[in-house]
RNA sequence: GCCGAGGUGGCGGAAUUGGUAGACGCACUGGAUUCAAAAUCCAGCGAUGGUAACAUCAUGGGGGUUCGAUUCCCCCCCUCGGCACCA
């Protein structure tokens, strides 16, 4: 029966192959890739619909900012996504893999200034080029769903949701601190502040308070924190980072009453997580902008100067945290709420108005920062916490910050941390001077940007009606397309055709808001819009319920906090508005490691920095292989090395993959990138190894060619057990199928999957025989190797499959399954150690008992040399692994 | 400064749950093929000693737990990512 079937199949295959061309002997990636891509496009292979019976799988890679060209980080990111998408597709899932453009942002304005073109033109030109680049990589993307956030049909719904949030009280206005360039009279992004100075003017930057709109992400702080436990598909480290960022802490609000005799105008409120140390407070410190500070400075020129000095510099937390701690005594006092002692009020530059109450109680003995400050200004240090099991060495040489037991604290002495906090909080509450409170580190999200190339905030300012929302039927508030910024503020503010409008309430002339939204708003919900990009009546529709949540999200680790937290927040807001039915947008998250490259720059006299691409830099080495000079090819003048950092537009250290794709083909680029390292690992760029990837594909092609030339084979299971050698190879083949499946599915280690296939191919290449059993195995192995590699190098596999199984298409094939019967082994190898050192190997039956294994180990000649004459203390047998003889 | 990762041959990396350190690949060296080169194929390739068999050392540094540590614990050094207006 089987014989007849096989004969018939042979007949079919002969008739199919009769008219087809013989297989090309050499691997020509350009031809193959063009033809494969045309086939995918012609058959709409990656167009996705909601109608399938199959389970859905939504695989999303973070969309790129259209900076001009792809860089290697993009290739890495999108290849990972494509490997997983194609793998799931073969597993029988209905896969959605979309792509779009995070198209608003600062670089477009900078490019516009430099080249005198509008940000719109620059952006859309970049999108066109980068789309072409992405297509040349052969990604299985459903391009029908492409979107760009700078398109009014997209940002319409940013504005619409903003208004809903305003109605719900989730948006409010208050002041926020920005970097102000006093020369250009403009707000600077943190990135535009270099060493505390404006990047274009070199002028020292000042902090300035301006009105801004905020989204109440803190209202969701508890859910955002608690729901992290419902995300087992997220890396532990990302969940930890988010939890720390939200920073929920339990503490006590404490009021230090004003010492009116000293002139203190008001009581001082602070928050502390260490109320147990309250009896050790020796002073209080307030921010430079604190009302008490301003009051004290009114008739004190020195204090006034100090406050002005504190206003200089950038708003970056890293800068503030590392700057030299400076302070000044106000001469004012407050009253310690429990001891009644008078405590001096200091202004300190390390206390920030925007955080908590803008004031802290200082306990130098038990806080490092307070300790350093107290030392510097000779303020008293009073220790009140000692280790639970001993005494504190006094005087202190550094702050003792551990939780311990209170002492020297009057009636609050002898208490452990929690008891001390509880008792002190109760005492404060009894006096009306304190309450326990939960505090978050997380701050509300300021979304106002004084910039042109972003989504307009849909508000109108009317002299008589105040702030009036733009009515829904007037959305979207469209951004003019043709403005060119000049570096001095927002051009929207100089464009009457944009800002002149009438008040929707009273009909009087009014002024449109000219601030635009943070681009993180755009990227907070794009994943939902991909499910229904053509929907012009609503933000999302029922298709979102089919596809969401995203099953696999892939993107750089640099987004671990901000983007991923904002999009979690927005999805919860959308859920609460009835737009989505999900609690969390991304079920599984793969955080890709950064692709790093060296940074080269020159700093002009003005302080302005110009970055040069590594490709433009000539590096000379001396005879010891050490760097002797680094200069620009263009002018042979030296450039500075800025270390290594992530590939980015701003540092101009990206590597364009185009040359790689043109020279070797997309498959080589993809294979090389996946083989270089596991995807989560940081990768320092080097093209060493590209040749190896190309060589491997050439070998693969040749091996299939050699096999096919001798005639293709219909696999006959009866031939599987022809010889022990073939059995071993078949064991390896099916072991490889199992390993590659696990590596792609659970481990996401594509490098080891590729290595396993290489090992298998190396062994197969040693087969010289051409008997039917060998050719049978070769057919089975080649078919499976092509299937296993196809998610990673889809073009070559598409072509090879047509040779191995004429008349069928790779894309219709299921993912291979390891044959359990091929994986059965009678004997296993064990390693024998003596005192933990490898001394020999033994072969034992699969189910040998401990005694038999011990005996075999002791009889091993190599082992005997090390055991003889010594008393055996014990023998450890680790089943399936090793034997360790301890002497 | 704070939060989170990482550090293994000349290089990228492997070792999946505490169990053979260096899989796979690059580079390099030698050989085959070639008029020659490229390409390809074969072999070698952590360090030290040794002709070799082999032995010792070795996973950023120092200490510890264990029969056994790249893996777990403590301290230190370095690199990278994030720090709320780069995206």
Measuring from the CA of residue A314 to each C1', which nucleotide is nearest? B85
Measuring from the CA of residue A103 to each C1', which nucleotide is nearest? B87
Measuring from the CA of residue A599 to each C1', which nucleotide is nearest? B80
CA distance A613 to A632: 10
CA angle at residue A141 from A564 to A149, to 5 degrees? 50
Largest CA distance in chain A: 110
Q: Nearest-CA residue to the C1' of B27?
A: A688
Write out the E strands in A44-146: 56-61, 94-96, 100-101
Spanning CA of A673 to C1' of B40, the rounded length in angstroms is: 25
Spanning CA of A276 to C1' of B36, the rounded length in angstroms is: 85
ipTM above 0.90, yes or no: yes
Q: Does residue A558 reach within 7 angstroms of strand B, measured from its CB?
A: yes
Q: Strand B: which residues 307-326 of A lie within 7 A (CB)?
A: 315-318, 321-322
Q: Does residue A878 reach within 7 angstroms of strand B, measured from its CB?
A: yes
**A49-82: buried (b, 16+ CB within 10 Å) or exposed (e) per residue?**
eeeeeeebbbbbbbbbbbbbbbbbbbbbbbbbbb
Cβ atoms A351, A360 nearer than 8 A: yes
> Which secondary structure element, helix H or strand E, spans residue A554, and what is its range?
strand A550-556
Measuring from the CA of residue A757 to each C1', which nucleotide is nearest? B24
Measuring from the CA of residue A876 to each C1', which nucleotide is nearest? B67
pTM of the model: 0.94
Q: Strand B: which residues 637-666 of A lie within 7 A (CB)?
A: 643-646, 648, 650
Cβ atoms A330, A244 nearer than 8 A: no
Q: Strand B: which residues 73-132 of A lie within 7 A (CB)?
A: 102, 104-107
Count other Cβ atoms within 10 Å, centred on residue A818: 18
Q: Strand B: which residues 827-846 of A lie within 7 A (CB)?
A: 829, 831, 833, 835-839, 841
Q: What is the CA radius of gyration of chain A?
A: 34
Q: Strand B: which residues 4-43 of A lie within 7 A (CB)?
A: none
Spanning CA of A702 to C1' of B45, the rounded length in angstroms is: 27
Measuring from the CA of residue A560 to each C1', which nucleotide is nearest? B82
Task: Give one DSSP letter per residue of A159-216, joined into a string.
Answer: HHHHHHHHHTT-EEEEEEEEEEETTTTEEE-GGGEETTEETTT-PBPEEEEEEEEEE-
Q: Strand B: which residues 499-538 of A lie within 7 A (CB)?
A: 518-520, 523
Spanning CA of A691 to C1' of B33, the rounded length in angstroms is: 21
Q: What is the pLDDT of residue A623?
A: 54
Spanning CA of A618 to C1' of B28, the rounded length in angstroms is: 24
Q: What is the pLDDT of residue A624?
A: 52
Spanning CA of A389 to C1' of B52, the rounded length in angstroms is: 63
Measuring from the CA of residue A557 to each C1', which nucleotide is nearest? B81
Q: What is the pLDDT of residue A648?
A: 84
Collapsed DSSP state (helix, strand, coil) of residue A612 = strand
Q: Strand B: which residues 48-67 of A lie within 7 A (CB)?
A: 65
CA distance A97 to A553: 10
Spanning CA of A863 to C1' of B22, the rounded length in angstroms is: 24
Spanning CA of A688 to C1' of B11, the rounded length in angstroms is: 8
Bases in strand B with any atom closer than 7 Å to a protein CB = 1-6, 10-16, 19-21, 23-27, 39-42, 55-56, 67-69, 79-87
Q: What is the pLDDT of residue A740?
A: 98
Q: What is the pLDDT of residue A514?
A: 98
Measuring from the CA of residue A442 to each C1', which nucleotide is nearest? B84
Query: Which residues make Cβ contacts (< 8 Å) with residue A719, sequence separation at least 6?
Result: A772, A773, A776, A777
Q: Does residue A684 reach within 7 angstroms of strand B, measured from its CB?
A: yes
Q: Nearest-CA residue to the C1' of B13?
A: A677
Spanning CA of A627 to C1' of B51, the rounded length in angstroms is: 40
Q: Does residue A354 reach within 7 angstroms of strand B, measured from its CB?
A: no
Spanning CA of A779 to C1' of B46, the rounded length in angstroms is: 39
Query: Which residues make Cβ contacts (< 8 Å) with residue A158, sequence separation at least 6?
Result: A455, A517, A521, A522
Q: Does residue A188 reach within 7 angstroms of strand B, measured from its CB?
A: yes
Measuring from the CA of residue A834 to each C1', which nucleotide is nearest? B67
A126: tokens are 């970049």
Cβ atoms A510, A468 nearer than 8 A: yes
pLDDT along chain A (887 residues), means of 10: 45 47 89 97 97 94 96 97 98 98 96 94 98 98 98 98 98 95 94 90 92 98 98 96 96 96 95 95 93 93 94 89 91 96 94 83 92 92 89 84 92 95 97 95 97 98 97 97 92 97 97 98 98 98 98 97 98 98 98 92 80 85 64 88 85 92 97 97 92 96 95 94 90 97 97 97 91 95 98 98 97 97 89 89 87 90 82 89 90
Write out the E strands in A225-275: 249-256, 268-272
CA distance A235 to A229: 11
User: How long a stretch of residues is chain A?
Assistant: 887
Q: Strand B: which residues 358-417 of A lie within 7 A (CB)?
A: none
Q: What is the pLDDT of residue A19?
A: 44
Cβ atoms A841, A830 nearer than 8 A: yes
Q: Strand B: which residues 457-476 of A lie within 7 A (CB)?
A: none
């Amino acid at each position: 029966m089987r014989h007849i079937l096989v004969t018939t199949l042979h007949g079919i295959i002969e008739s199919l192959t009769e008219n087809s061309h013989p297989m090309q002997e050499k691997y020509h990636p350009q031809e193959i890739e063009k033809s494969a891509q045309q086939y995918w496009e012609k058959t709409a292979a990656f167009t996705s619909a909601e109608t399938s019976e199959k389970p859905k799988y939504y695989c999303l890679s973070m969309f790129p900012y259209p900076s001009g060209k792809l860089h290697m980080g993009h290739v890495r990111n999108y290849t990972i996504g494509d490997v997983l998408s194609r793998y799931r597709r073969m597993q029988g899932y209905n896969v959605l893999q979309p792509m779009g453009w995070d198209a608003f942002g600062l670089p477009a304005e900078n490019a516009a200034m430099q080249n005198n073109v509008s940000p719109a033109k620059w952006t859309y030109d970049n999108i066109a080029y980068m789309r072409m680049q992405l297509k040349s990589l052969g990604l299985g993307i459903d391009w029908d769903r492409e979107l760009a956030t700078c398109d009014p049909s997209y940002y319409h719904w940013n504005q619409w949701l903003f208004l809903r949030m305003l109605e719900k009280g989730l948006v409010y206005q208050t002041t926020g601190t920005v970097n102000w360039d006093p020369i250009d009279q403009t707000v600077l992004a943190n990135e535009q502040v270099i060493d505390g100075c404006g990047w274009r003017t070199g002028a020292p930057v000042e902090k300035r308070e301006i009105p801004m709109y905020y989204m109440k992400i803190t209202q969701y702080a508890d859910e955002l924190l608690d729901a992290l436990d419902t995300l087992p598909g997220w890396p532990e480290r990302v969940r930890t980072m988010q939890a720390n960022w939200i920073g929920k802490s339990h503490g006590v609000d404490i009021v230090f009453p004003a010492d009116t005799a000293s002139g203190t105008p008001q009581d001082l409120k602070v928050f502390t997580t260490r109320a147990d140390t309250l009896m050790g407070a020796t002073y209080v410190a307030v921010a430079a902008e604190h009302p008490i500070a301003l009051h004290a400075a009114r008739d004190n020129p020195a204090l006034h100067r100090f406050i002005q000095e504190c206003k200089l510099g950038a708003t970056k937390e890293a800068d503030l945290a590392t700057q030299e701690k400076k302070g000044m005594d106000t001469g004012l006092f407050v009253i310690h709420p429990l001891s009644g002692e008078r405590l001096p009020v200091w202004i300190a530059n390390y206390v920030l108005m925007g955080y908590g109450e803008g004031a802290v109680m200082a306990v130098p003995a038990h806080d490092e920062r307070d300790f350093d400050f107290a030392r510097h200004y000779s303020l008293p240090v009073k220790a009140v916490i000692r280790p639970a099991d001993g005494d504190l060495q006094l005087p202190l040489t550094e702050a003792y910050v551990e939780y311990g037991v209170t002492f020297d604290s009057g009636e609050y002495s002898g208490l452990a941390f929690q008891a001390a906090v509880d008792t002190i909080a109760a005492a404060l509450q009894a006096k009306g001077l304190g309450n326990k409170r939960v505090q978050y580190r997380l701050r509300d999200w300021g979304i106002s940007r004084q910039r042109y190339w972003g989504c307009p905030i849909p508000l109108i300012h009317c002299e008589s009606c105040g702030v009036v929302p733009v009515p829904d039927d007037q959305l979207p508030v469209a951004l003019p397309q043709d403005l060119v910024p000049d570096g001095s503020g927002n051009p929207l503010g100089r464009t009457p055709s944009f800002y002149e409008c009438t008040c929707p309430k009273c009909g009087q002339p009014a002024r449109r808001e000219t601030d635009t939204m943070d681009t993180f708003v755009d990227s907070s919900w794009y994943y939902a819009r991909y499910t229904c990009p053509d929907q012009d009546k609503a933000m999302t529709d029922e298709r979102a319920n089919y596809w969401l949540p995203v099953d696999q999200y892939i993107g750089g680790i640099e987004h671990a906090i901000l983007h991923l937290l904002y999009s979690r927040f927005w999805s919860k807001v959308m859920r609460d508005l009835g737009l989505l039915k999900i609690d969390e947008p991304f079920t599984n998250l793969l955080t890709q490691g950064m692709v790093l490259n060296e940074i080269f720059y020159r700093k002009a006299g003005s302080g302005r920095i110009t970055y040069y691409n590594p490709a433009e830099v000539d590096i000379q080495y001396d005879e010891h292989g050490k760097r002797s000079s680094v200069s620009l090819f263009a002018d042979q003048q030296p450039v500075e090395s800025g270390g290594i950092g992530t590939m980015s537009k701003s540092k101009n250290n990206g590597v364009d993959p185009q040359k790689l794709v043109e020279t070797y083909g997309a498959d080589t680029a993809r294979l090389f990138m996946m083989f270089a390292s596991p995807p989560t690992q940081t990768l320092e760029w080097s093209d060493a190894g590209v040749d190896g990837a190309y060589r491997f594909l050439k070998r693969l092609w040749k091996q299939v060619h050699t096999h096919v030339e001798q005639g293709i084979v219909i696999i006959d299971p009866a031939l599987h057990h022809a010889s022990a050698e073939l059995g071993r190879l078949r064991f390896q083949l099916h072991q490889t199928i199992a390993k590659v499946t696990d590596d792609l599915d659970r481990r996401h280690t594509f490098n080891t999957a590729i290595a396993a296939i290489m090992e298998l191919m190396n062994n197969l290449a040693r087969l010289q025989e051409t008997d039917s059993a060998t050719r049978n195995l070769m057919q089975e192995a080649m078919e499976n190797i092509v299937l296993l590699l196809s998610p990673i190098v889809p073009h070559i596999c598409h072509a090879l499959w047509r040779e191995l199984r004429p008349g069928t298409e790779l894309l219709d094939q299921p993912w291979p399954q390891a044959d359990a019967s091929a994986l059965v082994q009678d004997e296993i190898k064990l390693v024998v150690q003596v005192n933990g050192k490898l001394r020999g190997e033994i072969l034992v039956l699969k189910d040998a008992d401990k005694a038999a294994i011990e005996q075999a180990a002791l009889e091993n000649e190599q082992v005997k040399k090390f055991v003889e004459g010594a008393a055996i203390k014990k023998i450890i047998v680790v089943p399936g692994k090793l034997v360790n003889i301890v002497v």
